[in-house]
Amino acid sequence: MIGEVLGVIGGVLVLAALASKRMTVSIFLLFMGSLLVGFAVAEHSGPIAGVVIAALYAGALVTLILISLTLVSEEEEIKLDRVYAAALALALPVALLLIYMFSSASYLPHKAAARIIGEEDVGAFVLIIVTASIGVVSILRGGEK
């Protein structure tokens, strides 16, 4: 059931990205939609496939953002604003939480989960999404100015 919901939301986000005329919104929606579709695939056919898909498509989108910034956007000076500093400050706990999540071995195939998903996992997931959102919006808005 959760796979269905994630797949539908991710698909709607990708379609909204295709329909959007602003490149910033489009790339950001495609990024979020790809992640959600990756989670849906993980729910349907195994966590390894989902993680691989999320990693591949997120990597492709980072390349797309870089090329979009290089070709379409105007040149600008690198600056350190509050949003960028907040994203950097959040990056360290996110890295620690990711190490904790993967070290719990709950994503290894053919093994029972080492523990049940709790509040800290939901908090880590929300933190990851918030950090990714802040980072992407910051980079893309900076590129548009």
Q: Which residues bind other proteins (CB under 8 A)?
A: 3-4, 7-8, 10-12, 14-15, 17-18, 23, 26-27, 30, 33-34, 37, 40-41, 44-46, 48-49, 52-53, 56-57, 59-61, 63-64, 67-68, 70-72
Q: Give the number of other CB atoms < 10 A from CB of residue 97.
A: 17
Q: CA-to-CA distance for 104 and 98, rounded, in angstroms?
A: 10
> CB 115 → other proteins: shortest distance, Å?
23
> CB 40 → other proteins: shortest distance, Å?
6
Tell me the one-letter amino acid at 4.
Answer: E
Q: CA-to-CA distance for 114 and 134, rounded, in angstroms?
A: 31
Instruction: Closer to other proteins by CB, 35 or 87: give it.
Output: 35
> CB 78 → other proteins: shortest distance, Å?
22
Contact 107, 47 (CB under 8 A): yes
